[in-house]
């Protein structure tokens, strides 16, 4: 069972039952599922490097950027959060070549259940990764567009009727609305769009069900922040979204700590009460 040392990056995922999680850097790949049920020691080594340029930074902006990259890099442009502001299709943007490669590409508008029903946007190549990162229990394609801007227009049109946010505390407690009928919601929301936007509705009605490797969901959650806590040691109870869920309801958002230099060491000792199936 491997330990991990390096600058944190978003956990990579493999769609499986349950979902498989990995931490990667240039030197190693660690399967985090193997840590579940084990005591895990996480130590912050007092260094942050920008996930884009690698320079040392005292403060991380927008989940891993130094301030210059946050202000200038295309990966942190306003249309990342607000796709309706994208200008890549107009030949504009912080980096026109980057925009053509990433934003002037097919995008998916989707419906997902992560806490309640939500609408979201992602590149087609990021399905189902985006759904996993948000901790969705199930998801369906609503529309498919040739660029990010049009996908953003559909999302904005539907925000009046459905949220575009995940309530992360409810998601981590698995306090979700299990009765949502995504196919019916797709039909309902389609009819609320203007005729020009309805032209992009996807014919793919498949519903993707997602199962996470969790031994036990917490009743309450408390977020761990490495700017306030240098290290912690607790039993890993599961993984959902981009969160590690520890015994006692402590949760650690790996993605929000992108660039933090850490050492994570799992213990070989496994407590009897956490042995057994993940289902």
The pLDDT of residue 270 is 54
What is the structure's pLDDT at 26? 87
C-alpha closest to that of 267 among 33, 37, 21 = 37
Q: Is 219 or 279 the better-scoring residue by pLDDT?
A: 219
The C-alpha atoms of residue 118 and residue 201 are separated, in whole angstroms, by 17
pLDDT at 34 over 80: yes
**Rg over CA atoms, the chain:** 20
Q: Where are the beta strands (DSSP E) in the chain?
A: 4-7, 12-14, 20-24, 29-31, 38-48, 107-113, 117-123, 138-145, 207-209, 222-223, 231-240, 243-246, 250-253, 260-270
Give me the chain's average pLDDT, please: 95
Mean pLDDT, to the nearest integer, of 254-273?
84
For residue 71, pLDDT beyond 90: yes
Q: Residue 269 has what pLDDT?
A: 56
pLDDT exceeds cutoff 50 at 272: no
pLDDT exceeds cutoff 90 at 268 = no
pLDDT in tens, 189-219: 999 999 999 999 999 999 999 999 999 999 9
pLDDT > 90 in the chain, percent: 93
Beta bridge partners of 233: 41
Q: Where are the domains of the chain?
A: 4-65+214-274, 82-209
Quickly state the pLDDT bin for 153 (edges 50, 70, 90). Answer: very high
């Amino acid at each position: 069972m491997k330990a991990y040392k390096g600058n944190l990056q978003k956990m990579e995922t493999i769609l499986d039952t349950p979902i498989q999680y990995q931490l990667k850097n240039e030197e190693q790949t660690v399967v985090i599922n193997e840590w579940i049920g084990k005591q895990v020691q996480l130590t912050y080594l007092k260094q942050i490097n920008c996930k884009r340029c690698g320079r040392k930074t005292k403060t991380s902006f927008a989940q891993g950027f130094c301030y210059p990259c946050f202000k200038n890099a295309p990966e942190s442009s306003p249309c990342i959060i607000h796709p309706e502001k994208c200008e890549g299709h107009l030949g504009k943007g912080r980096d026109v070549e980057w925009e053509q490669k990433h934003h002037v590409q097919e995008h998916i508008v989707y419906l997902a259940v992560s806490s309640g029903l939500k609408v979201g946007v992602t590149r087609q190549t990021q399905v189902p990764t985006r759904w996993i990162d948000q901790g969705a229990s199930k998801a369906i394609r609503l529309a498919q567009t040739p660029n990010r801007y049009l996908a953003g227009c559909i999302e904005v049109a539907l925000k009046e009727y459905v949220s575009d946010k995940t309530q992360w505390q409810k998601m981590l407690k698995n306090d979700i609305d299990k009765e949502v009928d995504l196919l019916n919601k797709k039909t309902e929301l389609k009819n609320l769009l203007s005729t020009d936007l309805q032209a992009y509705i996807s014919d793919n009605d498949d519903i993707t069900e997602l199962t996470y490797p969790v031994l036990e969901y917490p009743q309450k959650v408390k977020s761990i922040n490495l700017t306030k806590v240098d290290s912690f040691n607790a039993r890993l109870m599961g993984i959902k979204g981009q969160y590690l869920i520890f015994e006692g309801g402590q949760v650690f958002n790996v993605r929000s700590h992108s660039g933090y230099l850490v050492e994570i060491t799992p213990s070989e000792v496994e407590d009897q009460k956490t042995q057994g199936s993940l289902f």
